[in-house]
Amino acid sequence: MQVADCSVVTQIEGVNYCIVVLHQTSWMDELNNLPPVQVIALLSATILIWYLASGLRTTLYVLGSSTKEE
C-alpha cells in the first residue's frame, strides 16, 4: 500500500512511518457550504424522487389490489 499524501513522515528504527491527518466533516457542514443554487437543485431532485416513488408505490398497490381474488 502506498500513501501519496503524507502530512508527516517519521523514521523509527529504520522504518518510515507516514502520518496522515484526517479532517472529519459532517454532511450538515457539507450542506451548509453548498451555494444556494446547488441546495435548490438537491432539494428539487429529492422531491422528484420522492414523488416518483410515491406514484410507483400507489400504482403497484392499485394493480395488486385489482388482481387479488377475495
- What one-character-per-residue DSSP string does 46-67 give? HHHHHHHHHHHHHHHHHHHHHH
Residue 16, pLDDT score: 82
Distance CA 18, CA 21 (A): 10
Query: How confident is residue 4, by pLDDT bands cut at 50, 70 and 90?
Result: low
% of the chain residues with pLDDT over 70: 87
Query: Rounded mean pLDDT of 20-28?
Result: 80
Residue 66, pLDDT score: 64
pLDDT tops 80 at residue 36: yes
C-alpha grid cell for residue 64? 395488486
